[in-house]
Amino acid sequence: RIDEELKDVEPELIQKVCATFLDSFDPDDNQEPWLTKMRNGAEENGVKLGDFARILRVKLTGKNRTPDLWAIMSAMGEQRVKARLQ
């Protein structure tokens, strides 16, 4: 399912986006610093924020459309987020 949803994205970019996010991930962040880190990660990888978030969303949930990504990560917890993105 994940491969199908991200078939238009280079595997190297997927790995890079996940690694970039995990480098700055802090499960204690509220939504504002989390969003700043997302924007910085998108810029660092040369992609739009929406594309950066889409890669993470699909890696975490297997779906392109979900409720708020920050809320999903908060509900999943640190260990599950890290496991799915590594």
pTM exceeding the 0.85 threshold for the entire prediction: yes
Confirm if 62 and 5 have CB atoms less than 8 A apart: yes
Q: Please report how many Cα atoms fall inside a 13 Å half-sphere around the Cα of residue 80, on the Cβ side.
A: 8
Is the pLDDT score of 40 beyond 90? Answer: yes
Confirm if 72 and 66 have CB atoms less than 8 A apart: yes
Query: Rounded mean pLDDT of 11-23?
Result: 97
Confirm if 26 and 77 have CB atoms less than 8 A apart: no
Structure tokens at 24: 């700055």
Interatomic CA distance for residues 74 and 28, integer angstroms? 9
- Percentage of the chain beyond pLDDT 70 is 99
pLDDT in the model for residue 3: 80
Give helix 31-45 / helix 49-61 axis angle, nearest 10°. Answer: 110
